[in-house]
Amino acid sequence: MDIKILPVNETKQPVKDESHLVFGKEFTNRMFIMEFDRDKGWHSPRIQQYGPFSLDPAALVLHYAQEIFEGLKAFRRPDGSIALFRPRDNFERFNLSAERMCMPQLDVDFCLRSLNELLKLEQDWVPHTEGTSLYIRPTMIATEPVLGVKPADSYLFYIILSPVAAYYKGGLSPVKIWVSDEYARVPSGGTGEAKTGGNYASSLYASTLASEKGYDQVLWLDSVERKYVEEVGSMNICFLYDGKIVTSPLCGSILNGITRRSILTLVDEFGYEIEERALSIDEILDGSENGRLTEAFGTGTAAVVSPVGQFTYKGRNVLLGNGKAGELTMKLYDTLTGIQYGRIEDKHNWVKML
């Protein structure tokens, strides 16, 4: 398929002062977009002006949330070149989410080509300061106007770009986490592994309560026993417990994080034993107090590697690391961002240059 490049107005310019960048509030001038319908398959791929599109008020996405998305980043290196981190993995995961949500598959090579074309046109928007990046959001929505609950016959796929700074306002200062005993992110057997908007919508109520109490994020426990750690809505979570790396297994209800995967490779190379096992909230609370748990950190495209400094569960408050990011957490942050920004050799072929 040929990608049409439509004329656009360069109405916006990248900010000069990158210290004002925040996460996900500003978008570039162009977006990639194409449509799907059952007769034609995917068609009309084009790069056009970023802006609102019209949707029928009955479009299925607006009623039954048939939607998926991805998040990946482009990094500006000191020599001006632009690096993408594991982009193929993101589009492969996108297809897994599509399958789970009964949406059409995409050709991964075509997606990568479309993204490259878009990035070439918008490359001035990749910010220059380390810690910033151009966040890439591929999205698919169900557009068929019908009120019956069923997989749609028509879809829109688009990619938008947003220059961003750190996801958490505090940058690398440890986040405070509220462990929800009452609410669950997804039920067992639900859509937890898919990157679909509904998982995030269902997290909002508890996140709002947590935020009102002064917490940055909610840690979700499994929905059956409300005992085992699953994930922190916007990131996977890892623990340094008894000197080993412990993280929840990919049990179907947590996201199969690409940063999680990269971090597990790195800790393995650093010589840590890895246990992908159910870790109970009691182990975390007791471990923080008796010294068996020494570090906890979240991993995610937006969050990168994010130190955790506090857990609160049913009124019990435990602190980790005296308000400072742990040594391993920092080493992982430095190694991962080093690979992304080109300071450290990419031995795994994770990086794809534009």
Nearer to ligand COI, 263 or 285 (CB): 263
Count other C-beta atoms under 10 Å from residue 348's C-beta: 12
If binding is defined by CB under 6 A, does position 139 make contact with ligand COI? no
Nearer to ligand COI, 66 or 301 (CB): 301
Task: Among 302, 320, 328, 332, indicate the residue that binds ligand COI (CB under 6 A).
Answer: 302
CB of 145 to ligand COI, least distance (A): 28
Closest among 164, 142, 125, 155 to 30, alpha carbons compared: 125
Residue 149 has what DSSP assignment?
Answer: S
Nearer to ligand COI, 69 or 272 (CB): 69
Nearer to ligand COI, 24 or 252 (CB): 24
CB of 159 to ligand COI, least distance (A): 13
Q: Which stretch binds ligand COI (CB under 6 A): 7-15, 94-102, 116-124, 300-308?
A: 300-308
Q: Which residue is nearest to ligand COI (CB)?
A: 71
Q: What is the DSSP string of 286-314?
A: HHHHHTSEEEEEEEETTTEEEEEEEEEET
Q: Which stretch binds ligand COI (CB under 6 A): 78-86, 124-132, 295-303, 321-329?
A: 295-303
283-299 CB burial, b ≥16 within 10 A, e <16:
bbbebbeeeebbbbbbb
Any idea what the Cα angle at residue 169 is, between residues 168 and 170, rounded to 5°? 90
If binding is defined by CB under 6 A, does position 300 make contact with ligand COI? yes
Q: Which stretch binds ligand COI (CB under 6 A): 80-88, 180-188, 298-306, 337-345?
A: 298-306
Q: Which residue has the tokens 């050799």?
A: 345
CB of 230 to ligand COI, least distance (A): 15
Three-state SS for 154-208 is: EEEEEEEEEEECCCCCCCCCCEEEEECCCCCCCCCCCCCCCCCHHHHHCCHHHHH
Beta bridge partners of 142: 155
Task: Among 217, 234, 247, 312, indicate the residue that binds ligand COI (CB under 6 A).
Answer: 234
Please state, in angstroms and rounded to a whole number, the distance separating the CA atoms of residues 11 and 177.
Answer: 40
CB of 330 to ligand COI, least distance (A): 20
Q: Which stretch binds ligand COI (CB under 6 A): 8-16, 138-146, 184-192, 301-309?
A: 301-309
If binding is defined by CB under 6 A, does position 71 make contact with ligand COI? yes
If binding is defined by CB under 6 A, does position 104 make contact with ligand COI? no
CB of 207 to ligand COI, least distance (A): 10
If binding is defined by CB under 6 A, does position 312 make contact with ligand COI? no
Closest among 287, 299, 186, 289 to 238, alpha carbons compared: 299
332 CA to centre of own chain: 17
If binding is defined by CB under 6 A, does position 133 make contact with ligand COI? no
If binding is defined by CB under 6 A, does position 203 make contact with ligand COI? no
Give the contacts of 233 (CB within 8 A, at least 6 positions apart): 185, 200, 203, 207, 217, 218, 220
Residue numbers of the site for ligand COI (CB under 6 A)?
71, 234, 300-303
